[in-house]
A and B are shown apart, each in its own frame.
Chain A
Amino acid sequence: MSILTYIAGWPLLAALALVVVPRNYRVIIRTIAVLATLISAVLAVKMFCQFVPGANGFQFEQQIPWVESLGISYHVGVDGLNVGLILMGAIVAFAAALCSWEIQTREKEFYILLLVMTGGILGAFASLDLFFFYFLHELALVPTFIMIGVWGRGEKKNYATFQITIYLSIGALIALIGLIALYLQSGANTFDIPKIIEHAKTNPLAVNAQNFIFPLLLFGFGILVSLWPFHSWAPLGYGVAPSPTAMLHAGVLKKFGLYGLIRIALPLLPQAAQSWAHVIAWLCVGNILYVGWVAMRQRDLNLLIGNSSVAHMGFIFLGIASLNLIGVTGAVLIMIAHGFLAALTFALSGYIYKQTGTLQISELGGLCRKLPFIGTALLMAALAGCGLPGFANFVGEATVFFGAWKTFPAITIIALWGALVIGGIYMTRAIRNILHGPLPEKWNSIADASNAWRKLPYALLLVSLLVFGFLPKLLTEKINPDAQKIVAMATGSTAVSAVVVGVAPTTLSSGATPADTREPRALPENFVAQNK
């Protein structure tokens, strides 16, 4: 059995075990959930450390035939693209399970759903079979709806539940049609992703078929990732969701669509990807600029975080649209970094909500005096969100900008504005209004995270952000070789050398140019060093 099966299997197994535990045994229920996610996280760290960067093919592979007549098998494996995502997912899931102490009603059902969600999404990331890839994602998606519906907060709960259910189901089903069409069109008669890719190398898909399937995948996955203008479910949904759900969904589940685009759409539909790259790039301006602007106007902390998380998706799309090694590497980097960041911010806002019962920014203030630990963590999260060097987000965003500069200079400039100025404005303003200034008297009784257990999830996520911020090489050395394969297929293998080598001679009048001449792997690290 592959270690991946254990990583995704433990939470699912624990969910099954919880079904038979009587609902009064709250401590046991909680312990089982935390323990299962802890095991997953430890195994994921172990896998991450054992992963050999640049090795040929997939590692920790396992394949069990499931439906032979259709070519469906349970097939898991990791390469550089998903090894970091699985690590991130497992850590976030552990943090989410730790943060679930805020759930006070029907704990048993909540933990079961949380574990199903965790197992589903980790399995989806590990899956190398189109069918299981979709199947496990859907398995993770449905608990989200139920959790928002039952444990959600605020008056708009029912509306938000229906909106997110219907919106995301539409996205998932459009993607399903695209995946089925891809399976049939590939002619490989298997759902196995590596085999389809291998088959496509010799028999590429017809261009008109590509042009039909790519938009299905782009918009199907795009809805799941809140690509502008299909993002409106996200801020409201996250605003209403209980914080562990928001952590897992915004942090981990949402990355599924992006991962799907990189893993499946780029290598298999190269011509279509090239012709749609401009569209993606302009849509992501909507994410970065428009949604960023919307975020500036928010009066509610959760809506602000939700919008800012949508805005961050824009950078990832920009990286994908750039279709070169640096851009795609950067996109994967942000996916991981944003996973930690989104989970951290939603966890913190959940804590504040639990203490104060409101997230209206105007009603809060001076909280840093009462909540030194939470306040500091929130401040650091906000700075990470603005793209401050030292946090993993900076590395990713900078890399994406370098990658995108060559293809879309105008959009990159706009995106830089969006990242640095707009992001800076709303984040610092929120920090000022929430953490500083006079403390309203009614908040005199609130308490900070008291013991190590309570502090652990926040600390864990912050440390992860910092580790990958200072040592991005841990990720880039793994992502790079496999991103290179993807880019090679997406641009046609002859063009790839031109992209990698061709970066050097281009002279661009931006401050970013010198970095482009370096080897991409060393690039982000250097930047951290410079900015320290």
Chain B
Amino acid sequence: MLEISVIGLGLVLMLADLFVPAERRRFIGYAAIAALGVLLVTSLSGNGSCGQFGTAFGGMFVNDALSLFFKQLFIVAAILVLFMAAEFSDKLAEGSVAEYYSLILFALAGMLFAASSNDFTMLFVSIELITITFYVLVSFQRSKLQSLEAGVKYLILGALSSSFMVFGIALIWGTTGELNFTKLADFLIKTPEVATSQIFLLGVLLVLVGLGFKIAAFPFQIWAPDVYQGAPTPTTAFLAIGSKAAGFVLLLRVLFTAVPSVTAHWANLLIIISGITILYGNLCAIPQRNLKRLLGYSSIAHAGYLLLGVAALSASGQSALMYYLAGYVFTVMAGFFVITLVMRHLASEDISGLAGLNRRSPLLAATLTIAMVSLAGIPPLAGFFGKFLLLKAVIEVAQTTGNHGYYCLAFIALAGVIISLYYYFGVIRAIYWSKDPEDLSPIEISSPAKLSIWACLAGIFWIGLFPNTVLNITNLAAAALGK
């Protein structure tokens, strides 16, 4: 099974750490990447276990088009993060690189479980596996105060949200006696009075609090900027993609598989959360000078855009969400890759550190520009088509349900896009227009880093220009959810 192989791989890496000489540790990472690449190919070709759709462990574990899509997404993200970690390894504490790699793999295993979880126990276990590894990953630069601070913040808030979630699961269990998503949905159909009981609804709400923390949606977003800023850059990248996507796949499963009857009544709640998240993230990003902090706020805003797809309560919304995530992986990875390479020798990740990047390394300058432009949602890049699909889904619901909240949401999303243009272009301006950069030494890029940057760029353009393939996959995945 995919998950077992990933965990096994993580363990092997830890062992390998003992036998491989220190100067060749970088290659442990490349070995892990190669192994993950094999897993990705098997999962794509449909030969591996995840190609066989069905459930296991008494319905706790499900393999369907949705889980397959997210698993591939997670593996791609992990491969890119490992590449990034290899570049970042000299900033990590002496002799701990392999540990870092294996932690990434453990987090990946948690995400893979999350993609397949069809049961509240499974949900909790996978979330905890992800979160606890991330506590360590965030505070991995032990000598750096900021990193430790970020780790502590993440730990406290993460523990708090986990306890909310456990409480919520307990309430759901107490009122219905079911933990399995599918069985719970059947139970709610048979006994509709439970679906309206206050305690049950509180339980669902508390589970959503826990998931809202993972995706950094308003009002559980406070941790994001601090943690993004303090954490080592590869961790931040993985947090921005993997952790967020895991939150979204669980959110989709809970809302649309477990409690669809409740979700249908919560449209306005989702609209409000989505709208405020978009505005909060975008408005707070405007004054930021630290690049990672800025991306932290922008990731809150993107959580808001992704929530548009959830709030739409339709298959096209869910498909749009997944499409957006697929584009988001490559875009954010490209952005963080450049930050890793440019800023690894600087004390802080201030935007001014980008000055003169176009002369230091045209490739990195172009990559960051394309990433920012794609995040801003400008054609022909991935971000544009994703936002287009999300908006289309929202307006579609607005027209079929006649709920004017959706129109407001569409306009808020637009306002968000406009605001985001300001700060994304601020970054681009820092690259090309800044006056008198002090440091004009060219940046050396290793060939694996170059390879992954080109892969990210190809992904951004491919998803933006040829949406057909990915769209078909996400449509299938959304259909699997609706069953």
Contacts and interface: CB of A to CB of B under 8 A. Distances in A.
B101 to A, nearest CB: 36
A161 B472 CA distance: 39
Contacts of A529: none
Given A135-B380, A177-B391, A169 B468 contact: no
Contacts of A162: 422, 425
Interface stretch (B73-81, B145-153, B299-307, B392-400): B392-400
A66 B468 contact: yes
Interface string B138-158: 000000000000000000000
Interface stretch (B20-28, B230-238, B255-263, B409-417): B409-417
A110 to B, nearest CB: 13
A165 B421 contact: yes
B433 to A, nearest CB: 7
B457 interface: no
Contacts, number: 63
Contact of A180 (B395, B422, B468): B395
B418 A170 contact: yes
Interface in B243-276: none
A174 B411 CA distance: 8
A400 to B, nearest CB: 33
Nearest to B474: A69
Contacts of A150: 432-433
A149 B433 contact: yes
Nearest to A66: B468
A180 B387 CA distance: 12
Contacts of B425: 145, 162, 165
A169 B399 CA distance: 24
Contact of B472 (A69, A138, A166): A69
B373 interface: yes
Contact of B417 (A142, A145, A169): A169
Given A165-B425, A180-B392, A181-B395, A138 B379 contact: yes
A166 B433 contact: no
A166 B417 CA distance: 10
B67 to A, nearest CB: 21
B422 A138 contact: no
A66 B380 CA distance: 14
B454 interface: no
A185 B399 contact: yes
B379 A177 contact: no
Interface string B216-232: 00000000000000000
B412 to A, nearest CB: 12
Contacts of A411: none
Nearest to A170: B418
B417 A173 contact: yes
A68 interface: yes
B126 interface: no
A166 B422 CA distance: 8
Contacts of A138: 378-379, 384
B405 interface: no
A142 B378 contact: yes
Contacts of B195: none
Given A135-B380, A180-B392, A173 B418 contact: yes
Interface centre among A165, A170, A177 (most CB of B within 10 A): A177
Contact of B373 (A135, A142, A174, A183): A142
Interface in A126-172: 131, 135, 138-139, 142, 145, 149-150, 162, 165-166, 169-170
B360 to A, nearest CB: 16
Main secondary structure of the interface of A (DSSP, over half): helix
Contact of A67 (B378, B391, B468): B468
A177 B395 contact: yes
Contact of B471 (A69, A131, A135, A142): A69
Contacts of A170: 414, 418
Interface residues of B, number: 27
B467 interface: yes
A514 B388 CA distance: 51
A360 B193 CA distance: 77
B429 interface: yes
Interface in B347-402: 373, 378-380, 384, 388, 391-392, 395-396, 399
Contact of B418 (A67, A166, A185): A166
Interface in B448-483: 467-468, 471-472, 475
Main secondary structure of the interface of B (DSSP, over half): helix
A184 interface: yes
A180 B417 CA distance: 16
A176 interface: yes
Given A67-B467, A69-B472, A176-B388, A181 B418 contact: no
Contact of A69 (B379, B396, B475): B475
A235 B408 CA distance: 32
A145 B418 CA distance: 14
Contacts of B475: 69
A336 B432 CA distance: 36
Contact of A169 (B396, B411, B418): B418
Contact of B379 (A70, A135, A166): A135
Contacts of A174: 414
Contacts of A66: 467-468
A139 B379 contact: yes
A184 B472 CA distance: 20
A69 B414 CA distance: 25
Nearest to A173: B414
A142 B392 CA distance: 22
A149 B475 CA distance: 40
A184 B396 contact: yes
Contacts of B414: 170, 173-174, 177
Interface in A108-133: 131
B86 to A, nearest CB: 29
A150 B429 CA distance: 9
Given A138-B379, A142-B373, A150-B433, A176 B421 contact: no
A142 B384 CA distance: 13
Nearest to A212: B407
Nearest to A162: B422
A138 B475 CA distance: 26
Interface centre among A170, A174, A180 (most CB of B within 10 A): A180
Nearest to B394: A180
Interface in A169-210: 169-170, 173-174, 176-177, 180-181, 183-185, 209
Contacts of A180: 388, 391-392, 395
A32 to B, nearest CB: 19
A69 B319 CA distance: 12
Contacts of B422: 162, 166
Contact of B399 (A145, A149, A166, A181): A181
A142 to B, nearest CB: 5
B396 A67 contact: no
Contacts of A68: 468
B311 to A, nearest CB: 16
A142 B388 CA distance: 17
A176 B467 contact: no
A139 B380 contact: yes
B421 A184 contact: no
Contacts of B391: 176-177, 180
A162 B395 CA distance: 29
A183 B393 CA distance: 12
A118 to B, nearest CB: 16
A135 B422 CA distance: 21
A135 B467 CA distance: 14
20 contacts: A66-B467, A67-B471, A68-B468, A69-B475, A138-B378, A142-B378, A145-B425, A149-B429, A149-B433, A150-B432, A165-B425, A169-B421, A170-B418, A173-B414, A173-B418, A176-B388, A176-B391, A177-B391, A180-B388, A180-B391
> 4 shortest A-B CB distances, which residue pairs?
A173-B414, A138-B379, A135-B379, A180-B392
Interface of A: 66-70, 131, 135, 138-139, 142, 145, 149-150, 162, 165-166, 169-170, 173-174, 176-177, 180-181, 183-185, 209
